[in-house]
Each structure stands twice: as structure tokens, then as C-alpha cells.
Amino acid sequence: MASPQGSRAPLEFGGPLGAAALMLLLPATMFHLLLVARSGPARLLGPPPYLPGLQVLWSPRMLLLWLTWLGLQAALYLLPARKVAEGQELKDKSRLLYPINGFQALMLTALLVGLAVSAGLPLGALPEMLLPLAFAATFTTFIFSVFLYLKALVAPASALAPGGNSGNPIYDFFLGRELNPRVWSFDFKYFCELRPGLIGWVCWAWLHGPEGGGWDECCHLCGDRLGTDCPVLPLLQPQVLINLAMLMQEAELRGSPSLAMWLVNGFQLLYVGDALWHEEAVLTTMDITHDGFGFMLAFGDLAWVPFTYSLQAQFLLHHPQPLGLPVASVICLINAVGYYIFRGANSQKNTFRKNPSDPRVADLETIPTATGRQLLVSGWWGMVRHPNYLGDLIMALAWSLPCGVSHLLPYFYLLYFTALLVHREARDEQQCLQKYGLAWHEYCRRVPYRILPYIY
Ligand code: NDP
């Protein structure tokens, strides 16, 4: 049983008060973005065009659809994997095993969605689907987090994360108590990290329109049949969900998807495909090795990522932007540079952590630490202390640029992501200082910049 006294790890995110505030603020921000992206002025900082009531948000059909989606991804997770990888060593010196079949899940999902759409499945008949679907995802995340919290109460102390065992229920519920909650070999955190949310972000193709029909043709907003003069519908239409849907919808509306829409879709598909292709690399990230699995990660993975990371595509659908080939080429170059740094840094650290004698990293300079592990001090990790964050931020910029500079809204991702990574970097520094002590001081002396050379 877990110790009731709690751990001595310093509280993060402003402690219980900060955790409670974030549990309200994050879903509220997500719904705000969903509402303003399709409104005419598309003002990030302005009020939403209207406040949806519970009758708009709550839809048992959308809940069923969401649970079906999770069930499909869980079934794909359980399919035979091309490889089974070992995780990092745990407190009790054991290592967990993880199936590496995320890319296979992405391909099979694309195939199934394509077949379903061509067979005429009325996937996108509800214009107001996006909001109730996001609500269903948020609702299930809360329930799921309660389950994770209760499960952690009976977990052995050795299974707890360093940070989510403070003894304060609000804080621990938010941060996550158990490091790797599992039922048999099904690992909840690893499953949620890269599959339902990421695949949902780029893969779901929803076609819209009253003529699609099929799910429920009554508009929850005004009570009329779809297609009648609903006063709210124009704010929501045309209704599609995630990136590919935006692209398909734009093709329907304007004859072909715009260059800007192609770029946003292409860049983000590359990002998601890459994450799943290099799925094994997630095993050495902070989310897997350090953070417990609670509301923070569950909401981030299952709701925040699919419903807010598709913001640029949602924006472009409602606010088309002209983009010439020369500017598009420069944006592609920016994305390529970001990707090169991001992939190079993540793969280098992952290869090194798996096997420091691997010929690809054996020549790199290192600092020994008292734990027996070494720190890279040349290559990407000799340039700044978080080169992978730098690459990710450069890509974030490239995802927003196709949306032009007339609105702040599509830059939300870049702003939020900068704040997230600066804060995350500080958390990681703190953890590394605790782990490596003097060796970490030496690393900071040798590599003085955190994310951006000569600036930060
Ligand atoms: P990292 O993958 O950077 O992992 C940090 C860990 O790496 C440290 O705790 C330490 O762990 C190890 N490390 C740090 N410095 C060195 C060094 N010099 N040599 C060897 N090992 C070192 O962090 P994240 O998990 O935060 O990020 C992983 C990726 O995910 C990043 O590319 C990030 O941009 C991305 N990301 C994307 C998000 C999104 O929403 N799109 C959100 C969060 C992250 P140890 O020594 O124990 O191995």
C-alpha cells in the first residue's frame, strides 16, 4: 500500500490551488478555442460568440462515439506488435515491456476510416458534433482520472511517481500518483500518450451537412431540424472535426484545399507519423519516466491535444488565407529545420540511453554522474540543454505561419507551447539537479543555454 504520509518532492504547478485552477482553466480554454475558431472575428482574447448550455454539450451519442473510438484504439494496441521494447529501469530495478505498434495502429485507423467513409457511414452529420465530442472526452477524462487515483491508493509504494504522492488529494489527483498504472499488461499512460489523441488529431474525417443525415437530425441549439434557419448554426458550420476533416471540407467548399491547409495538414501529419514511427523514443521521455498518470496527462493526451492542436486547420477553414509559393517554400524550410533538430536530438538521447556504446553515439563526449548514468555534453545536447524543445518550437512557428498574420488565434499553439516548454524545462532541470547533483552543475557550466543558444 502507498504511504499515507506523502513524498517529500517539492510541489509543482502552484500546489493544490494551482492544480485546482488548472483543472478548471484547461477545459475552459479548450472550449473557448473551439467556439472562437469558427466565429467571424476569431478573437483569441475576446469573449466567445455564445455560451453553450448543457443541452448543447451533452450528447449520449457522442459519448458512445468517443468510447467506440477509445475501444478501437485499445483493440489496435492489443494486436501483435512488430517489437516489444523494454522501458527504463524502475525503482525496484525491474523493467516494463511495451508493444511497439503505434504506427501500425495509425495505418489501420486510416484504412478503417477510409473504408467507413467510402461505404457511406454518416460520420459527420451533426454540425454541433465538435462541442459534444470534446465534452464527452473531458467528461470521460474526469471519470478515468478518478479511477486512476483510486487504483493508485492500493498500489505498492514502489509503483508511485516521485511527484504525485504529496498526500493532498487534489494535487495528487491532478499530477498522478502511480507512475505506470497497468491492468495486466495494458499500460494506460503509454496507451494514452500517443494513440487516441494524436491519431484522432490528424485522422478523423468528418463530413458535414444536413444532407449527410443519420445520427440525430435535431439541432440541439435551437431545437429545429437541421437545415432550417437556426440562428446559431452559421457559427458552427461547416462542421468538421480534425485536420483531415478540415482539408476535406475546404475541398468541398472551395473546390480544392488551399496551399495553407495543405501545409498545416502535411506538417502535423509528419509530426504525428514521426511520433508513432519512433514510438520507442517515448519510453525515455519525462512523461513516461517521471510523471505520474493523473488528470494532467490524461486530459492533455485525450482531450487537449486532439481538440486544440487542430486549431490552425479549424481557423483556415473559416478564415482562408492566401499563400504564395515563395512564402510557402520558406515556411517549409522552417519546418524542415525544426524537424531536423527535434528528431536529431530526441533520437540521439534515446539511442544513448538505450545503449551508450552504440556506434552512433559512442564518440560523443559525456560527463559521468554518481548514479552511474552519463550525461551527453556534445552533439545536440552540447548545443543547448533542451535541443529537442528548440526543434519543437521552430515547428510550432511553421504550423502557425500559413495562417497569416491578421489574427493572433492561430498563434495560440506557439504561445501556449512556449510557456509549456519553458516551464517543463525548469521542472526537468530541477529533477536532473536532484538526480545528478554536482554533475548537473558541471553540465550547466559546460552548456550554459537552456533552449535557445545565446538567448535563453
Ligand atoms: P526529454 O526527452 O528532453 O527528457 C528529459 C530527460 O532527458 C532528462 O530528465 C534526463 O533524463 C535526460 N537528459 C537531459 N539532459 C541530458 C543529457 N545531456 N544527456 C543525456 N540525457 C539527458 O523531455 P520531454 O519528455 O519533456 O520531451 C520529449 C519530447 O516531447 C520533446 O521533443 C518535446 O519537445 C516533446 N513534447 C511535446 C509536447 C507536445 O504537446 N507536442 C509536450 C511535451 C513534450 P535521464 O537522465 O533520467 O535519462
Cα-to-centroid distance, 345 and ligand 1 (Å): 9
| Confidence (pLDDT) at 354 | 86
Cα-to-centroid distance, 377 and ligand 1 (Å): 15
Cα-to-centroid distance, 50 and ligand 1 (Å): 40
Cα 408 to Cα 331: distance, rounded to the nearest angstrom:
18
- pTM, rounded to two decimals: 0.85
DSSP E strands, 302-376: 366-368, 374-376
For range 337-348, the mean pLDDT: 95
For range 249-278, the mean pLDDT: 83
| Confidence (pLDDT) at 147 | 96
Do 292 and 179 meet the contact criterion of CB atoms below 8 Å apart?
Answer: yes
Q: Does the beta carbon of 349 sit less than 6 angstroms from any atom of ligand 1?
A: yes
Q: Does the beta carbon of 302 sit less than 6 angstroms from any atom of ligand 1?
A: no
Check residues 80 and 206 and name the one with the higher pLDDT. 80
Which of the four pLDDT bands, split at 50, 70 and 90, describes residue 130? confident
Give residue-wise pLDDT tens across range 357-397: 999 999 999 999 999 899 999 999 999 999 999 999 999 99
User: Nearest C-alpha to atom 7 of ligand 1 is from which residue?
Assistant: 285
Q: Is the per-residue pLDDT at 406 higher than 80? A: yes
For range 65-94, the mean pLDDT: 90
Q: Does the beta carbon of 346 sit less than 6 angstroms from any atom of ligand 1?
A: yes
Cα-to-centroid distance, 200 and ligand 1 (Å): 24
Do 213 and 332 meet the contact criterion of CB atoms below 8 Å apart?
Answer: no
Give residue-wise pLDDT tens across range 9-58: 678 899 999 999 999 999 999 999 999 988 878 888 988 888 888 988 99
User: Residue with C-alpha cell 499488461?
Assistant: 185
Q: Quick one: which atom of ligand 1 is closest to the CA of 382?
A: 18
Q: Is the per-residue pLDDT at 421 higher than 80? A: yes
Task: Tell me the DSSP string of 280-331.
Answer: GGGGGSHHHHT---SHHHHHIIIIIHHHHTTHHHHHHHHS-----HHHHHHH
User: Nearest C-alpha to atom 10 of ligand 1 is from which residue?
Assistant: 432
Percent of the chain at pLDDT exceeding 70: 84
User: Nearest C-alpha to atom 39 of ligand 1 is from which residue?
Assistant: 417
Q: Quick one: which atom of ligand 1 is closest to the CA of 443?
A: 18
Amino acid identity for residue 168 in this structure: N
